[in-house]
Chains A and B, each alone.
Chain A
Amino acid sequence: MIEVRDVTKSFGTQQVLRGVSLDIRRGEAVVIIGRSGGGKSILLKHLIGLLQPDSGIVRVDGDDITAMNERSLLRVRRKYGMLFQMAALFDSLTVEENVGFVLRRQGLESETEIRRRIDEALDMVELPGIGHKMPSELSGGMRKRVGLARAIVYRPEIVLYDEPTTGLDPIAADNIDRLIRRVWETLHVTSIAVTHDMKSARTISNRILMLHEGRIYSEGPTSEILESTDPVIYRFVNGISTPQKSQ
């Protein structure tokens, strides 16, 4: 479904991606892990064409999106929903208007049907009856859940999550993880998340890719990566800042 080949990306003199290659198949739940500032979010934005690589190719269902202009990309992006790190809700619109943004913009359905789908999406993220509120009236966890409702209301094939649990307390984070898992299971989407939260990675993925020094260092089933004895993966997964000296 998504193929990435030898993608490089630099900002000024800093090379963030140094030849990333990966494949994501339809229906997978993939998590990309790696250190903060290691380029995970940059890589995620390449998958949806928000950023263009300096070199390399990103194919979505066979279409090379690196060769597309912004208008052509709009067609490809209809396959995607994305939850941003800080939710990125439109702060001048109510929750209801945020969630229904795409449906109203497409104008393909009646207002009654649009309202039904908005209510359905808000129910799915366990926030019924808050459609009239403004984003500024919501807590961080609620904002993320509204962001998730906005990302899934038009039934995309692929949902991207950029650090979905960052900045949330453990209970709110667990709530988001459960919702991500439920969206994957009930809507049968391809789920791609970037995170450095190992508890979250365990809950929401069936495959993990580790980004290290600008490349995919390792990939495999979730349990295999989380229990790996490879020093780089082990130190990251267990949060060890320096290599342990052998006894």
Chain B
Amino acid sequence: MESIGSFRHQRPSWKDFLYQLQFIGVKSQSVVITTGAATGMVLCAQTFLQFHKVKMDTATGAVVSIGMSSELGPVLAALMLTGRVGASMTAELGTMKVTEQIDALRTLAAHPVDTLVVPRFLALLASAPLLTAESVVVGIVSSWWVGVNLLGIDSAYYLVNMTRYTDPPDVLTGLIKSLVFGAIIAVVSCHKGLTCQGGAEGVGKATTEAVVVASISILIVNFFLTLFLSRLFYS
């Protein structure tokens, strides 16, 4: 709430925002691309093995596409971002807290939320949907490659079924989820960092707690978002 309230008091610093965007968005690409590719390939193989028993090989693309767009893409990208970005944020802010850098900021008449939290929050809101989209696209392309080249599915049927059964709401669901997950990672990680106590042990503990709390929150919120968004788009 303080982050949202901050906009009334202080215009976010573009320099800080762009720095965080580079750290969160650009540097996380290799992680989410690898995650998307691995998930897409495995999901394709597993789906194919089951569907092949009932002669539904060409439906594999549709299942992978919907699964990646609305569920696995946003959730796995968010979990990877929690590990890479959330942990780093908590450790950085926690170290600043225990070395009195946060107090120094306050004595320099700078609100820690305006200076440290808002740029990270905005950068995560901007990055999470883009990284999720990237992960989903890479996952789908990887699954197509595995399906066509390794499992022998006809490419045309694979693509036709995929586009026929994947609706815009499936993609929108994934993007909305990724936006919410980005906010969860930013809020939990920054909160744990700024409330960190003690020395190195405290920073370690806060970092672990941030990753655990953010990951569990993402999984729980994902369930309720799935129910809510499916009712919103399909009822």
Contact = CB atoms under 8 A, between A and B. Distances in A.
Interface of A: 45, 48, 50, 70-71, 73-75, 77-78, 80-82, 84-86, 88-91, 101-102, 105, 150-151, 160
Interface string B154-166: 0000000000000
B101 A82 contact: no
Interface in B68-112: 96, 99-101, 103-111
A155 to B, nearest CB: 13
B9 interface: yes
Given A50-B106, A71-B111, A86-B100, 12 more contacts: A70-B106, A74-B106, A74-B111, A77-B107, A78-B109, A81-B107, A85-B100, A88-B101, A88-B104, A90-B104, A102-B110, A151-B107
- How many chain B residues sit at the interface, stated as a range, is 10 to 19
A73 B103 CA distance: 13
Contact of B9 (A50, A71, A77, A88): A71
B101 A77 contact: no
Contacts of B99: 86, 88, 91
Contacts of A101: 108, 110
B200 to A, nearest CB: 14
Nearest to B2: A70
Nearest to B108: A102
Contacts, number: 53
B111 A45 contact: no
Contacts of A82: 104, 107
B103 A45 contact: yes
Most chain B beta-carbon contacts within 10 A, residue among A70, A88, A101, A150: A88
A48 B101 contact: no
B107 A48 contact: yes
Q: Is the interface of B mostly helix, strand, loop or mixed?
A: helix
A226 to B, nearest CB: 29
Contacts of B100: 84-86, 88
Given A45-B103, A88-B100, A88-B103, A102 B109 contact: yes
Contacts of A48: 107
Contact of A50 (B96, B101, B103, B110): B103
B107 A70 contact: no
A78 B100 CA distance: 18
Nearest to B13: A105
A84 B104 contact: yes
Contact of A105 (B9, B104, B110): B110
B133 to A, nearest CB: 30
A77 B105 CA distance: 11
Contacts of A150: 108
12 contacts: A45-B103, A50-B107, A73-B106, A75-B109, A77-B106, A82-B104, A84-B104, A88-B103, A88-B104, A90-B101, A91-B101, A101-B110
Contact of B107 (A75, A80, A86): A80
A45 to B, nearest CB: 7
Contacts of B96: 90
Nearest to A82: B107
B109 A77 contact: yes
